[in-house]
Structure 1
């Protein structure tokens, strides 16, 4: 154990030393926390039960409304888009200064996003076919495949906004916010069609994305605008939940008439504004924390495989759940219906097991995120690499 700590200390010191003094480590920390929020959120509020014969998807939020605040902590997608807009706008400006073409810039960014997707699709196509051929119920296969593929909508929207950065980087967040409000008024107030809500899939996430682009231009150099975002977003969210009829949960709840997330509602966007304000206010404390080599090394290494973690965390959870079926009877917190608060502590005990399964997925598939390139040798190269494309250490990490 002492030897492992010594090796980690050497690695962390090397990563810290190889990082340029001007790097904004708080940006990487925010993105890492956003990824962890999504992963832990899914592991805590997704329950695969055997109550209906096969595996079916439900959530403790469907049984205990008092757990809605859990979704406020772990629904961190707005922060992800905030950081994405910030990094994309800054990166595109730098690319123009270097004389790089738009095609080169967007190709590098989207390549990092979609290379690891192919591995997920190939494996789950084979797995789904094998399960159906082996007699697994269609409803079970559909449940599993849906959970695996559901994160991909996020990547499609994120990729679309990334590709449109030159067009949307200077758009005021008030415009997409107005679109979201108008669509919700049409849907919920004037009896408009449900399909109209899918306009908000783009408009809703464009709000934090354009806030991130504004951040790259120095719009939040002072704390005042961030405080205003936090206060206004929190007040609007509370009003919409208490008097506007929006659900309190900021994630989808199976069986609920309205989801705040699929598609995003005005309540989800207002909540995202509050999250973005809080994230911007935390920049300085995070920057101070990231001066510690150990903390910074963890953030940097997580970001190196951010897409792998994001794409495979549901597979890790489902693999553990499926293997648990080999045990006699339903395992508490894994297969049981989450209709009691006792399910929560039981579920928490499974999180380290999910994490271990995710580590195996990471070891098997992380090379796809790097486009098949071997891992850099040595701590310094893990962060800094060599040559023109790696001149800004960890810069590509936040592009994914």
Structure 2
């Protein structure tokens, strides 16, 4: 068995959705003193809110993480302690690198006289993506008990308590004064739902169109009901709005995640056919290989490009101007290739020495039919682990479907 390329594709789409979404809704406006101030086009253009249902892909992110964790844990058998340590290192090491480099850059920016507003925006945008570490670390550490619970009590009985917690939190938010913050357990409960779906799917559940249709149809029905009850249309926070669907995640965020998972499972045959083509297959492989670093660095790249170009004295449309009309949105799309090129450069520069690369195979053939194009070879994985360097694919881009026999061949515990 090779990797589950379908889940790899969902993971790549989820990362791409987060990056594209942030780059499109985060406007950095140059003020009179040269400092940067954050703004959002969603404030002036509420009609764009439905687009956030496509770009807010955190549910697919946690679904893929749950699937990968369950498959990886099953493959490692009794070595759960070492398994968890490797997966946590795969998250924490890139995070420590981001914080270290970010601290050095902020110090240098302070020395050269960067305005305080710019420093504040840069710090906020660099640190804000780290929120996902808390629920993801807790859920990864709980993968074993969650698998047992799903097998013993069924998926429905495991999901209901989490949904209940989120529903009670939604009710509390509407009863308490504005600005009241709830405990972080709400965040864990909300994202445990797609994570549990991933765990269940890894154990063979949610197979077939009936299960996928139930998730998609049920999710759409709940979304419609919540919107009728007055939930915000935008799947992400809008500056100035009293209530957000993402901070903390509401029932609408959970329903959106379930809907996205159901629709993705329905689209699996078409997506698998697409992945037999070389270009999409390579793109998915590269995105999975660097998923953590892409997620961590995409906002610092936006701030760096905006701040550096602002020092030239030019006010560039779509980059430094107020996001108050569709013209800004269209112009921002023109900046996306530059932002993507800088992000790719930063991510590749941050890859550790000896990081396994995909080998080009002679001859033709689709990616799905050539496992060497999809995963590192056995010797590469063994040498990489023996060197003591953690496999950065372990957390988000694990070798999901490797059978236990291949794990033993790589020197892993039985």
Give the structure-1-normalised TM-score. Answer: 0.86
Secondary structure, counterpart of 1:262 in structure 2: coil
| Selected match of 2:375 from 374, 380, 383 | 383
Secondary structure, counterpart of 2:29 in structure 1: strand
Q: Which residue of 1 aligns with 2:143?
A: 165
Post-superposition CA distance 1:132-155 (Å, at most 9, x none): 333333332111111011111112
Q: Which residue of 1 aligns with 2:397?
A: 398
* 1:68 partnered with 2:68: no
* Shift, 1:191, TM fit: 6.3
Secondary structure, counterpart of 2:6 in structure 1: helix
Q: Which residue of 2 aligns with 1:180?
A: 166
Q: Which residue of 2 aligns with 1:3?
A: none
Preserved CA contact (<8 Å) 2:220 2:259: yes
* Shift, 1:75, TM fit: 0.4
Q: Which residue of 1 aligns with 2:181?
A: 195
| Selected match of 1:350 from 293, 318, 335 | 335
Q: Distance in 1 between matches of 2:358 and 2:398?
A: 22
Deviates more, 1:79-88 or 1:357-366: 357-366
| Selected match of 1:249 from 217, 231, 234 | 234
CA 394–23 in structure 1, closer or farther in 2 if over 3 Å, else same: farther
| Structure 2 alignment gaps of length 5 or more | 151-157, 361-371, 384-390, 400-414
Preserved CA contact (<8 Å) 1:120 1:311: yes
Question: How do 1:315-354 residues align onto structure 2 when only pairs under 5 Å count?
Answer: 315-354=300-339
Secondary structure, counterpart of 1:151 in structure 2: helix
Q: Which residue of 2 aligns with 1:117?
A: 95
Secondary structure, counterpart of 2:350 in structure 1: helix
Question: How do 1:121-270 residues align onto structure 2 when only pairs under 5 Å count?
Answer: 121-169=99-147, 170-171=149-150, 172-189=158-175, 194-196=180-182, 198-243=184-229, 245-270=230-255
CA 381–289 in structure 1, closer or farther in 2 if over 3 Å, else same: closer
* 1:361 partnered with 2:361: no
Q: Which residue of 2 aligns with 1:48?
A: 28
* 1:83 partnered with 2:69: no
Q: Which residue of 1 aligns with 2:269?
A: 284
Secondary structure, counterpart of 1:291 in structure 2: coil
Counting matched residue pairs gives 371
| Structure 1 alignment gaps of length 5 or more | 1-19
Give the structure-2-normalised TM-score. Answer: 0.83
Q: Which residue of 2 aligns with 1:6?
A: none
* 1:37 partnered with 2:17: yes
* 1:314 partnered with 2:299: yes
Q: Distance in 2 between matches of 1:184 and 1:382?
A: 42
Q: Distance in 1 between matches of 2:234 and 2:32?
A: 25
